[in-house]
Structure 1
Amino acid sequence: MNVVVVGSGIAGLTAALHAHEAGHAVTVVTKGVLGDGCTGFAQGGVAGMYGPADSAAQHAADTIDAGAGLSDSAAVDVLVHDAAARIAELIARGVAFDRGPDGELLLGREAAHRHARIVHAGGDATGAAIAGALVAATRRAAITVVEGAFLADLMIVGGVACGVRVLVGGALSDLEADAVILATGGAGHLYAHTTNPEGTTGDGIAAALRAGAVVADLEFMQFHPTVLAEGPAFLISEAVRGEGATLIDVDGRRFAFDSHPDGELAPRDVVSRALARQAAAQDSPVRLDATMLGERVLARRFPTIDRVTRERGFDWAIHPIPVTPAAHYLMGGVVTDLDGRTSIPGLFAVGEVARTGVHGANRLASNSLLEGAVFGARAATAVGKPWKPVPAHVPTDARSASTAGTCRTRPRPDGSPFSRSVLQRLMWDDVGLLRTDEGLEHALDAVIRWRSTAPAPVTVAEREDANLLLLAEATASAALARTESVGAHYRDPVASPLLETV
């Protein structure tokens, strides 16, 4: 069969390699160059290696706990039971995970994991190691690669996906396919502050929405607690806290225990809100104190973070560094079954673009790379098999947002003119860490007005803006529909202004 994979992170390239090895003709379409996207920036590792006191069942329990009970247990079981095989596959493809003197894999611990079960490569360069290995494997396999190709739309005929329309060098062209696998990542650039690289504008989710695919849980955007609070956004891995670093206020007090008994190792949504509130209360960023680890350990275990923080003028071995939250990972997306099938026959979705049900309302650290590998492989295996309808178990308040806002016919006539930066600021303020009815209504009104007056997009930048506006409307609508606070979606009874530190 002819398979088109859109995206070239861990999920997309895993799917492409498995489809190629199964005998399919594979074309990888990527917005930038092969290997671009979030995978290469991942500092954390891959969860799923279990020591003698650990098990897949305990990993599953931690995943569900972190997801605030909204994870799909069947999807979580698939994730944890396929973990060892996918990690072994990455090793076979050339990923040199860190090992101890005895040759055994070194296992790290991160927040909300009860055991050390995470493998890393190059200390804090796991994503780069994985991306490099998968790109090299893809090149060796002679898989067709189309770089600099922007996904304009999915091609749907008779309700079936039959290819993609891409914009390459200013010209639109159609790539026909028997199966399309979306692996385009998330939508971090909906927000003013994000750990995501440029170009993470939700293109795959937006294309799926326009095609009528079921999308869910867009209200669950995870904000990473610790991003360097000065200069361009740079993530400080959760593994630093897993090694013993602490979060302190201006008086040196570990304030995170005020919000959760696990303190700095509580789920990310809890830590992010605690950090944001503390920063606003003290009118300055909180600090991450890693000085107890010492210069040698920091340089050896976190070489990338050590280099960048020093380039920014911080000696984190001597002084705590200022940190702040930023949009990091979208738990929602295109709804899939356990093999990546979507509600549109012929269309698969894997990685961050997909809503597999694994993450629930809040992703457990180091499950994202694992999810990409596990479900990328499973989707490729399902290509060519009889199509199964996606289970209709998605909560109605989180169902497809393709008609988001259609009941709201009278948006406010006033407001700022559209620009991407204005949209990102609006989303950060009103659809961010702390949400209110008033703020969500305000954001939705503004986005509906902007969409109603936007000209038809032509360039890549204009198409990205259109995608961000569509997702902003869908996200604000989903957040309004989910009236309870759960996981990363927090409904604040009173408006709580956040400190602008990034």
Structure 2
Amino acid sequence: MNATPSRVHAVVVGSGIAGLTAALHAVSGGSTVTLVTKDVLEHANTRYAQGGIAGVMFDDDRVEDHICDTLTAGAGLSDPDAVRVLAEEGPARIRDLIALGVAFDRAPDGSLVKGLEAAHSYPRILHAGGDATGTAVEKALVARLRESGATVIEHAFLVDLVVEDGRVRGVDLLVGESTHREGVRRRLLADAVVLATGGAGELFSHSTNPAVATGDGIAAALRAGAAVADLEFFQFHPTVLPPDDRGEAFLVSEAVRGEGATLIDDTGRRFAFDVHPDGDLAPRDVVARAIADRMARQGGRPVRLDATHLRPTLAERRAFLARRFPTIDAAVRRRGWDWAAEPVPVTPAAHYLMGGVVTDLHGRTSLPRLYAVGEVARTGVHGANRLASNSLLEGAVFGARTGDVLARDVMGGWPPITTPPPAVAGLPALPIAVVTPPPFDRAALQELLWTRAGLVRTERGLAEAASILRAWSAVTSEPVTENDHEDANLLLVGAHLVAAARARRESVGAHLRADQPAPAASITRAASC
């Protein structure tokens, strides 16, 4: 018997912009929503988004230009239909955020302040609090969710999806505040499940992601048999401050380069123009690899980000940087540097996963009653490389679309879904390196993937990684604690990432195979533009 809209129960797993938006739209559509989150409600990747949100909000900007910029950054592998949905519906979703109270930065005349970031042809990036956009968005959405009537369960770890009769019927959770004990197992049944669990930045030893980004949603989807694609496309952010005395790295938004800061090597030379005509504002994969190459050429020492010319005097620069980038300014000063007076060291780090659980344009996956939104999803928007500040927009646009159709899907039966097959199928018939694996722990896994499947990849390195991951998977015990489950998820997602990277033997976008360099066309403007 079909449920009525008021009786449809959806479980949303994750509390970033995508999950919160999906939950709010589902509630507005008459569904009962339970939102479960791995940490506290406010702790998600969205909170760490400095750069802002991209959208056509100005009269002299065009949707077609945002589409072209996105397709160009995606290196020809984005889904044009998904990109058009993003660009066309994005402004309405940004206006929704403004209505919820997100105070995007404004000029003295009240107009929204424009920001420029890498690979955008127009300064269409909106920021809040200078470099605290994600925090502002997260706070506004959390406040609205708490008023919505949705049930919230915090400290709830997704163990697995419940699948019966070929469709998803709920989730199995591990509930408890300590990650080192078993916690309480709980099964939560539902008419539909929305995965909004974020990415898998904890795969790598150098990452901008919070510790909760362990690929849990992707791993659960893989175990349940849902289609997953494009895991080889992992974006590495070019500019991250080295770890502080607590061991924490810190991302420096490319909005800093959008304001005119430059990248220089040990000699003070701007090197990014050697590899791309846009120099410091080239696509992220290009800049990240240029930095890695320059570091190798200068003995592993970081390159430097130079903001010492942004205003005429030292006092003016200090005031500008503190006002425009208060969060970054504080992080730089905690490390003992005055970036108004001296260039600061920066290195690349793993940042954003473009692939994930394959969805249609409404978040539906290949597994009935399972949806995916945000970084866990492969919507087709990002292709081989994400355009700066499109991630918050993607979460808002596709989160809303998913929440809007959820009750109707449950009432009317799961519609026929055509999810595109992975662009690369099958593992090449190449020998697997036999490598004696080191003892397993998470740090060893992260270092393995950083060195063998990070910024630059080769068949030899990937084959060695595949061998070690297989050996580790064979000897790990049944997970008990949350940490155990996270390790198992990282092993599973890491193995699929490596397999995808081996299968795609040509270089494209964020995926560089040193044994098959990218053609020049992969970093030029999309042909359709």
Q: What TM-score bracket applies, with the shorter chain setting the length?
A: over 0.9
Q: 1:390 to 1:30 in 2, by over 3 A?
A: same
Matched, 1:350 2:373: yes
CA distance in structure 2 between the aligned counterparts of 1:396 and 1:111, rounded to whole angstroms: 26
Q: Which amino acid aligns with 2:481?
A: T
Match of 1:233 in 2: 249
Alignment-derived partner of residue 526 in structure 2: none
Structure 1 residues 159, 121: closer, same or farther in 2, change over 3 A? Answer: same
Partner of 1:499: none
Q: Give unmatched runs, 5+ long, in structure 1.
A: 496-502
For 1:291, what is the secondary structure of its paired residue?
Answer: coil
2:453 paired residue number: 431
State how far apart, in whole Å, the 2-side matches of 1:419 and 1:203 are. 17
Once the two structures are superposed, the pairs formed by residues 474-493 of structure 1 within 5 Å of their partners are 474-493=496-515
Specify the alignment match of 2:142 in structure 1.
135
1:362-401 equivalence runs, <5 A: 362-384=385-407, 385=409, 386-397=413-424
Task: Tell me the CA shift for residue 162 of structure 1.
Answer: 0.6
- Residues 428-463 of structure 1: CA distance to partner in whole angstroms, max 9, x if unpaired? 000000000000000010001110111111100000
Mapped pair 1:161 → 2:174: no
CA–CA distance in 2 between the matches of 1:264 and 1:103?
30
Q: Distance in 2 between matches of 1:218 and 1:369?
A: 20
8 Å contact kept, 1:49–1:107: no
Shift of 1:52: 3.2
> CA contact under 8 A between 2:230 and 2:422: conserved in structure 1?
no
Provide the C-alpha distance between the structure 1 equivalents of 2:205 and 2:416, rounded to a whole number of angstroms.
Answer: 37
Change (3 A) 1:251 1:494: farther
Kindly indicate whether residue 60 of structure 2 is the aligned counterpart of residue 53 of structure 1: yes
Could you tell me which residue of structure 2 aligns to residue 472 of structure 1?
494
Does residue 175 of structure 1 match 2:184?
Answer: no
2:228 aligned to which of 180, 201, 215: 215
- Aligned pair count reads 490
C-alpha displacement at 1:212, in angstroms? 0.2
Q: Name the SS for the 2:185 alignment partner.
A: strand
Matches within 5 A, 1:81-96: 81-96=88-103
> What is the CA deviation profile of residues 320-355 of structure 1, one whole-angstrom value per residue up to 9, with x for unaligned ones?
000000000000000000000000000000000000
Provide the residue aligned with 2:22 in structure 1.
Answer: 15
1:272 and 2:288 matched: yes
Are 1:445 and 2:467 counterparts?
yes
**Corresponding position: 1:98 with 2:115:** no
Q: Report if aligned partners of 1:247, 1:254 keep a CA contact under 8 Å in 2.
A: yes
Q: CA 1:409/1:374 → structure 2, altered by over 3 Å: closer, same or farther?
A: same
Q: Is the 8 A contact 1:6 1:181 kept in 2?
A: yes
Rounded Cα–Cα distance in structure 2 between residues aligned with 1:83 and 1:14: 13
**CA 1:327–1:410 in structure 2 vs 1: closer, same or farther (change >3 Å)?**
closer
Determine whether 1:331 maps to 2:354: yes
- 1:469 to 1:87, Cα distance in 2 relative to 1, 3 A: same
CA distance in structure 1 between the partners assigned to 2:405 and 2:471 by the alignment: 41
Out of 3, 17, 21, the position equivalent to 2:10 is 3
Displacement of 1:493 in angstroms is: 2.5
Kindly indicate whether the alpha-carbon contact (under 8 Å) linking 1:411 and 1:449 is maintained by their aligned counterparts in 2: no
**Cα distance in 1 for residues equivalent to 2:281 and 2:442:** 34
SS at match of 2:276: coil
Shift of 1:51: 2.7
TM-score, with length taken from structure 1: 0.95
Give, in whole Å, the separation in 1 of the partners of 2:417 and 2:187: 27
In structure 2, what is the equivalent of residue 262 of structure 1?
278
CA distance in 1, matches of 2:516, 2:424: 23
Whether contact under 8 Å (1:331, 1:360) holds in the other structure is yes
Q: Is the 8 A contact 2:360 2:419 kept in 1?
A: no
User: Deviations along 1:242-284, whole A, 9 cap, x unmatched?
Assistant: 1101000011100000110100000000000000010111121
Q: What is the aligned counterpart of 2:261 among 238, 245, 260?
A: 245
Tell me how far 1:143 sits from its aligned partner: 1.3
SS at the partner of 1:388?
coil
Q: Is the 8 A contact 1:49 1:119 kept in 2?
A: no
Is 1:341–1:388's contact at 8 Å kept on the other side of the alignment? no
